[in-house]
A and B are shown apart, each in its own frame.
Chain A
Amino acid sequence: MAYNILIVDDSQTMRKVILKALTLSGFELGRCIEAANGQEALKALNTEWVDLILTDLNMPVMNGFDLIRNLKADENLQGIPVILITTEGSEVRLQELFGLGVKDYIQKPFHPETLRDVLTRVLEAPIV
């Protein structure tokens, strides 16, 4: 199965690094869509179906918190698993985000292998 993945981060270079890590992960990738903030992400989701969302938290225009709240409030989008890729390390904030339904998180900086392992766990898919 080829996974369509939405990458949300205000840093264009970080999006490229995540995309590269995904490509090297061994997962079969379909479309990888990029968004620079939560607002762009929601706009993309109006026309694209994705199997997974990787998102940062601190972003201008619409941050990751508001993106996640919007996803969970939309019955068409609430089933899409969300993984955070963030510098956030506050236990309080992370627990709040898990309470909103976030599946897992990866703290920056990260090794590509970490991304692969978390994807395996969340998508429950074997690596080809």
Chain B
Amino acid sequence: MLHIFETMFFILLDPVEGMDVLEQRNLPQNPDRASPAGPFLKSEIPFEGYFSGTLSLLVPYSLSEMLAQNFMGFEEEVNEPQILDVSGELANMVCGNLFSVLDKNSVYVLGTPATQRIAPQAGQGLLEAADLTLKFMAEDQPIILQIQFNPKAS
């Protein structure tokens, strides 16, 4: 995952352990970002293979904007549709590369990524339960990777 961010987004990613990076005090304070549209983008991509499920990537909106800018070229201005598209493409790369590394000999079919803005509700966390949650920091902002596996048919 680190090499994806470095190669095409020119951002260094640091894995994080043992801290809740989505505690309320860590959320972006910019009120324009905080409401009503929500300060995070959530990109989800389904996958099917020996294991099936959904990979989700949560990235603060302001960081998503920076990623899109870096991806498209620093001289380019980016708009909202492009930011959403780049977020989906990022999830696509993360998912594809994950299975390339974990299981090169199996075939995994990736679905079409879907990206939406989400906002934390008072008293509720951003994260849903998942089988796997990995946390990273980039540009002092949190990035959350989650994988939820579908139950295997008995």
Residues of chain A at the chain B interface (Cβ within 8 Å): 10-14, 16-17, 20, 58, 60, 86-93, 107-111
Q: Residues of B contacting A16 with CB < 8 Å?
A: 72
Residues of A within 8 Å of B96, CB to CB, are 86-89, 107-108
Residues of chain B contacted by A92 (CB below 8 angstroms): 105-107
The distance from the CB of A97 to the nearest CB of chain B, in whole angstroms, is 12
Mask: chain B, 88-124; 1 = CB below 8 Å from A; 0 = not:
1100110111011100111111111000000000000
B21 at the A interface (CB under 8 A): no
Contacts A10-B112, A13-B72 given; indicate if A91 touches B92 (C-beta within 8 A).
no
In the bound complex, residues from chain B placing their C-beta under 8 Å from that of A14 are: 89
B interface, size bucket: 20 to 34
User: Which residues of the other chain, A, contact B108 by a CB distance below 8 angstroms?
Assistant: 90
Closest-by-CB residue of B relative to A88 is B96
Determine the chain B residues whose CB is within 8 A of the CB of A12 once the complex forms: 81-82, 85
Q: What is the minimal beta-carbon distance from B104 to any residue of chain A, in angstroms?
A: 5
Q: Is the CB of B4 within 8 A of A109?
A: yes
Kindly report which residue of chain A lies nearest to residue B104, judged by CB atoms.
A91
CB distance from A12 to the nearest CB of B (A): 6
In the complex, how many angstroms separate the beta carbon of A61 from the nearest chain B beta carbon? 10
* Chain B interface helix/strand/loop/mixed: helix
Residues on A with C-beta less than 8 A from B101 are 89
- State whether B100 touches A109 (Cβ < 8 A): no
B:5-46 near A, CB below 8 Å: 7-8
Pair A13/B89 contact, Cβ less than 8 Å:
yes
Q: Tell me the nearest residue of chain B to A60, going by C-beta.
A: B112
Whether B85 and A87, one on each chain, are in contact in the complex, defined by CB atoms closer than 8 angstroms, is: no
**CB neighbours of A11 from chain B (8 A):** 85-86, 88-89, 92
Q: Which residues of A contact B58 (CB under 8 A)?
A: none
Assembly CA distance A91 to B108 (angstroms)? 11
Q: Given A12-B85, A13-B86, is A87 in contact with B107 using a C-beta cutoff of 8 Å?
A: no
CB-CB nearest in chain A for B103: A90
How many Å from the CB of B59 to the closest CB on chain A?
Answer: 15
Cα distance A13–B81 when bound, in Å? 9
Q: Are B110 and A58 in contact (CB under 8 A)?
A: yes
